[in-house]
A and B are shown apart, each in its own frame.
Chain A
Amino acid sequence: QKEVEQDPGPLSVPEGAIVSLNCTYSNSAFQYFMWYRQYSRKGPELLMYTYSSGNKEDGRFTAQVDKSSKYISLFIRDSQPSDSATYLCAIRNAGNMLTFGGGTRLMVKP
């Protein structure tokens, strides 16, 4: 079993839809929970990160962490075609080492 599991998709939604992306993890020692966005032929870029259980909002994006069930989510409101990308969840330990999920490919259709 991988330390971080993520549904590979692809996930196809119409423009304006609410998108829900999810990951599960196995190691309780992980401290930071990150979401990266990766456009085709580009490197990953950090979208959001959270430290504790609960929600964190940034514009149209909301990151949610449930440490009791080892479950993290990213919600995108009013999705746009420009949101079409691969979304990678990543968990960071105290030594700044990242463990990535496999990524979910999202397509937002106009």
Chain B
Amino acid sequence: EAGVVQSPRYKIIEKKQPVAFWCNPISGHNTLYWYLQNLGQGPELLIRYENEEAVDDSQLPKDRFSAERLKGVDSTLKIQPAELGDSAVYLCASSAGGAGGNEQFFGPGTRLTVL
């Protein structure tokens, strides 16, 4: 079974440029999470989706970050414009929920460098 897929794996952009990250969760997983992981820190939740609905986006900086999960499967996280402090790893995770269990499976992440 394929795991959580993320692309791109690495992205280097200049500040003030836009950037987008894509996530394909494990097939059948209804819940999708985006996390931010700074160097030497643990992941911090940005947003959680239950199917198409964003049920927790309290930690998402809405002035520059946006996310969508069309059709309740793939998801895209966007930053516009990017700032130097946005350099980090952006992790996507998914879980089945319900009888399928609550374990969160993580993708390899997208490492963003803002110059």
Contacts and interface: CB of A to CB of B under 8 A. Distances in A.
Given A43-B4, A96-B102, A97-B56, A90 B108 contact: no
Contacts of A4: 42
Given A96-B31, A96-B95, A97-B56, A44 B41 contact: no
Among the interface residues A8, A43, A97, which one has the most CB atoms of the partner chain B within 10 A? A43
B2 to A, nearest CB: 14
Interface of B: 4, 31, 40-45, 48, 56, 91, 93, 95, 97, 102-104, 106-109, 111
8 contacts: A43-B93, A43-B107, A44-B106, A88-B42, A97-B56, A98-B104, A100-B42, A103-B42
- Which 10 residue pairs are nearest across A and B when measured between Cβ atoms? A100-B42, A43-B106, A96-B102, A44-B106, A43-B108, A102-B42, A102-B41, A88-B42, A43-B107, A100-B43
